Amino acid sequence: MATSALRLRVGALAAVAGLALAGFAAASPAAAEETPAPTITLDKTSFPAGNWGAGFHVTGTGFVGTGDVSISIGVSYGPQSGDGLYQTTVTPDNAGAIDVQVVPTRDAPVTSETDYPRVGVVASQQLTDTERLVSNSVALTITASDVPAPTATFAQVVSPEQLAAGLTLNYSGFGASEPIYYGFLVIRDGEPINELVGGLQQAVADASGAGALTATIPGAQVGDTLAYYVAGDTTGRSIDEETPVVAAPAAAAPTAGTGLAETGIDLGVGTAAIALLVLGAGSVILVRRRAALAQR
């Protein structure tokens, strides 16, 4: 769908480097067969979504005493679809053992006991250009929580005229002072009519995880769809939504004799205000869809 196309354009920059879960299932290279595969254990494997707390403690053995070991968290959305959530490195001791506390920053999706998404932790060590040690994968259980989803608020009519003049999108629900990536795309008949409007943009959330984005979007027509994507670079939280482009409400014609001096009410003004509300000039709050996405 069109929004997925937008997500794919910005997803690479919004994601933290890491191993995709597909890599977790890979065995150590054939060249490493002489070296037993390393093993890792975690002291904690269950977390509420959006709250890693103090993280988890990783211990492991079987690595080589030189060269960093990468500890990665990955999420799988299907047999052929995975994404890296977080990665850190640790140096093993002379005996090839690791011992480190890991505190991820990016949110993980709620996992399924029988289906996808799945989240796991793996440790790997690159020995040479062709040799790499890969540990066992430890599954994490991510449960539903009361951490609110990020929200975006439009404060203007989404009409061609308003978009050409400039719109403001207010967002909240991200991390404190988190770098934010965002983009807008105009969709017509199911296809984007141009590249990301103004290109991929970057902002920084305030101390409460909120902020405002402004953009001028020319070329839209009534019947188009405006797709927008807002992603946090640290937490990985995102808003991925679409809104229709509609005709601007017609200005109310002046009406003589409608003012009522004894009450101070002007029915002409009141009718125009009601018309604006009915036609959608009021703020529209759009909450992020939290379903797992097949493309990440």
pLDDT, position 251: 66
Q: Are residues 195 and 265 in the same domain?
A: yes
Residues 108 and 49 in one domain: yes
Q: Is residue 5 part of a domain?
A: no
The candidate with the shortest Cα–Cα distance to 171, out of 206, 140, 134, is: 206
Regarding whether 156 and 90 lie in a shared domain, the answer is: no
Integer angstrom CA distances of residue 186 from 155, 192, 209, 214, 220: 19, 6, 27, 16, 7
Does 71 reside within a domain?
yes
Identify the CA nearest to 77 among candidates 237, 233, 291.
291
196 and 113 inside one domain: no
Q: Does residue 175 sit within a domain?
A: yes
Are 227 and 3 in contact, with CB atoms under 8 Å apart?
yes
- Where is the domain boundary, 143, 172, 195? 143
Same domain, 178 and 108: no
Co-location of 165 and 136 in the same domain? no
Do both 104 and 171 map to the same domain? Answer: no
Supply the pLDDT for residue 16: 30
Cross-strand bridge partners of residue 48: 143
What pLDDT is recorded for position 259?
A: 44
Tell me, yes or no, whether 49 and 126 share the same domain.
yes
- Give the domain-ending residue among 143, 163, 193: 143
* Most distant pair of Cα atoms in the chain: their distance: 96
Q: How many domains does the chain have?
A: 2
Q: Which two tokens stand for residue 238?
A: 């995102």
Question: Which residue numbers in the chain have pLDDT < 50?
Answer: 1-32, 155, 257-296
Cα–chain-centroid distance for residue 132? 31
- Is 109 part of any domain? yes
pLDDT value at position 146?
Answer: 82
pTM as predicted: 0.59
* Residue that is last in its domain, among 143, 167, 193: 143
Q: Are both 250 and 200 inside the same structural domain?
A: yes
**87 and 179 housed in the same domain:** no
Do 124 and 187 fall into the same domain? no
CATH number for the domain that contains residue 37: 2.60.40.230
Question: For residue 283, is it within any domain?
Answer: yes
Q: Can you give the pLDDT at residue 285?
A: 33
Residue 3 lies in a domain: no
CB 123 within 8 A of CB 60: yes
Range of the domain at 272: 148-287
Q: Do residue 225 and residue 253 come from a single domain?
A: yes
Written as one letter, the residue type at 206 is: D
pLDDT above 70 coverage of the chain, percent: 70
Query: What burial class does residue 218 get, using C-beta atoms within 10 Å of its C-beta: 0-12 exposed, 13-18 middle, 19+ buried?
Result: exposed
Is residue 2 domain-resident?
A: no
Give counts: helices (H), strands (E), the chain: 4, 20
pLDDT of residue 280: 32
Q: Which is it for strands 167-172 and 98-102: parallel, antiparallel or unpaired?
A: unpaired
